[in-house]
Structure 1
Amino acid sequence: MAELHEPVTYRVADGVAHIELRRPDTANALDLSLARALLAAVGRARCDDGARAVLVTGAGKRFCAGGDVGSFAAAADPESYLHQLATEADAAMRALAELSKPVVAGVHGAAAGAGLALMLSCDRVVADTGTKFAFAYPGIGLTPDCGLSYLLPRAVGQQRALSFALDGAPLPATTALAWGLITELSDDALVRARELAAALAAGPARALGESRRLLRAAWEMDRAHAGAEEARIISEMAAGPEARALITRFATR
């Protein structure tokens, strides 16, 4: 188990790998240490046979406030620092999105900037009813990073994404749900997210994980490539013990 002072903790219980951001004093804002620790935790989840599903949460009062503005201001060369941070944080987000395991986010308090990209790299996003969602970048004179310009319009549509980015006003949780930015509201998002992750881990997790990977990867493919990749994966799955057992059970009902 990771120590509490580390920027990201990783632990596995009942088939669920719980990745938690642990910089609560900065609202879990991303600096280089957190970005690198997040990438390492996602790498552990990818290789961990005991992890059948993944849960992502943030410690403290907020899920993730985006980039750590204090670290930007303190950098000797802000341009180089921001380029490095954006690149390394994006690598962590992409690794999360590319996992062949289902991923649930439990979101509370606020998600802003790169925190939105982290959330949108997950498949099921449960938020507390009081959570606020903010684009945030223009307020400090910056532009999106961590793939948000790619992820956001695919989640909510181009015009809503533009409105959200340009208006500057945070979205309440009810609007985020109506737009498809999140998938569920709860009075206790962490408890509900744990329930969802446990249910996914208890199910046909390999099939669920490959399905989420295919659906996300298809944005990068043409129709023929998507079909070919589906054919490759479904044939591999059919040879595995999970599919064989479930197919036999279905055929003998």
Structure 2
Amino acid sequence: MGVTPYSNFFAAASHVKNEKDQNVWAAYWDIASYLDSMLLKSEFQDSWRSYNHKLLAGIVVDIMKGNSPYPKVFQKQIMERACWYAEPQCIQLARDVLNGYMTGQRKTVVGAPLPDGKLLCAAILHGSAELWDMLWSKLFSAASLEHAAFPLDSVLHGLSCTPDRYRLWKLLNETTVSSLLKDHRSFVMHNVAASKMSSEIMMEFLLSKWQESGNNTASIDKNVRDALFRMVSRNAKTTHEVSLLTAALATTSNNRLLSEAFTIAVEQRKHYTSWHKDHDSEFVKVFAA
């Protein structure tokens, strides 16, 4: 079977930014979602994001001004993608919301197409590690804890979006010991597991808890652990993820879940490597244009 080039996709995509038909955008997202997964953490990650946020700039302007012809649900989907690709207008909105939380002057931004949690997520994902540290400190400040209107879930959603391993482990560990966060443990862990940027870190965290989850004093229920592990392992393909699973299998006998995850990860790693070998030259040309 021959290799299908992406040249036709990129040729058509150059016209999408002027498209008003929702179905055309939906067709674009079908392919873009696959490229998201294949280009994530590759040498083309930043170029792919830049390509998309330039494509989305005009439609984001319309949404922010309230002039979009699309239904609200579709506007939200577009803005979620714009934030994922670090589209400047979305990031500015996200930083404005984060600043409101940090200064204690939180207010709903008029026309904001996304809930606070998703905007805080974008601000943390595409911001400096220091922003995470500041929001973390705010989370545990007396003023925040005593303020009934302080939306804990929104803040935790934002904190769970950091791609920083140390800080993410800090958050995950805190949910197992903190009286403030224990009731939000499932919320935090599902957010991290669902994150494209953090799934590898979440796998590492879950595997570190593997042996203890059979004990009565386990910090993570076994059924919850297994469900989360299935979420993060189904797309495992990096060298580090394969190494994590290899090490886990060496110390755990007769575990079907780990064995299946390892087999899938090895196959996906082969596909990932082969796919990049076939297509990287295309992306070099597209993103250099």
TM-score > 0.5 by shorter chain:
no
Q: Which has the larger radius of gyration?
A: 2
More helix by share: 2
Higher strand share: 1
- By relative contact order (CA 8 Å, sep 6+), the higher-ranking structure is 1
